[in-house]
Structure 1
């Protein structure tokens, strides 16, 4: 009888311990996921590691650990946990998707394609179409890249300028130049309060359509709302390209002191001096450029 009571007591104790551990793991996992959602991946990892100390064989935990490390740019650690998760659950579609994307970012193209082949058709989302598009682009399969990219146009964050640049190139390579302007105008309309988007839009207008007037209008419209050194400098550079020297000099005067020794500014001033046939000024700016370049080199080395 005593033995039976002892066994029952042990079973109850084990049951309580197991239930406590389950609660702790859920607590750490939920806290970690909440930190991840808010972008605090370091704290998320701290919570996940507490879970990991209790149970190293939970595929969901391992997947979330991998994702957090990937967001922090530690791809090797991310890969380690993704692969551990796949050993436990080789068919988990989320982990397969994440591993395929990570492998591509690490330059492991064949491995990325392998994991892509393991993803079921009903689990393919915009991230996978995007990945397939990037792989096709890298392999110069522009038609295939176009077909994949068009499936994500309404879903992708168009502040991703890598995508924007590649998609425009694909439209050129596949003779769909009529689709370029509507696309880049859409990017501009959505992000016209972002100086990077305005500069990108103006460059596309000039580089693809030679539309300097449209580019100047976009840049000037932004400057009228907000003085931004990069946008002003872009306007100065483009004005110089079309021979508007006086305009270029006026725009350079709008720059703040923070850009006084910017190499692009100094080079532009040197070119203006050369255009105006002022050799002494050319020599002056060349000396400043050399000094600034030397300082930048020393900072880089240090």
Structure 2
């Protein structure tokens, strides 16, 4: 993508920027262009002028993402900085957050204000934009349970308000058309004692630390929990474990010994190592159980 293809911006526009430092796995090639907009007006102006045929992909903190070694075509947009991460509590036990805010920080702000219902966000290592994209959830709660509405920007630079119903949320998925960049979200909680909310958050954090390799270079839960042949909910980690994949390695990538639905970069893994290991896990589970696991981690770019 040549320099002439890209509009002038007030934020940062980096060409050929390696994306590995922007992902939790710490792997991946360069983006043709990485855009860090200064604010909403900067983003709107950029989108208004950008060639409509240019590939465009928003990313958060890369906690649930594999960027392939060949890099990403087109423009990657990252909402980085305080201006995208503002959190405010509103009347009626509501919380409004920028799409660049960490889920855990939204949970903390809600707890401090005595607002219950968002505690589960303390266990999700991503941003609000990512939570909206994949209906993020854990320990029995999901984004769809608390979201009132969100504001996004379309490819033409127009702001769009979306209700919970508009999302068409299902398990780790929304049904919105592509090309939207989330800007903010408003949530509905319930009044509660701040100490009680904080205690529940601490329990979630403790459970996560005890059962997940959160201090490793990882991408979170790798595969969606599938539905069995009789309609029962199954656990991907258990299927992986029963297929003998706990601790399995490919190059510098390994299935976590602590949690068999987590892949980790042991230090020198490539994106191909990690994605290839995931495919080996899928093949093993298919052979053992006759179940085809679906990726929960998003994989982008050229192989």
TM-score clears 0.5: no
TM tier, smaller: under 0.3
Flag the structure with higher strand content: 2
Larger Rg: 1
Structure with more contact order per residue of length (Cα contacts < 8 Å, sep ≥ 6): 2
TM-score, reference length from structure 2:
0.24
Normalization by structure 1: what TM-score? Answer: 0.24
Larger helix proportion, structure 1 or 2?
Answer: 1
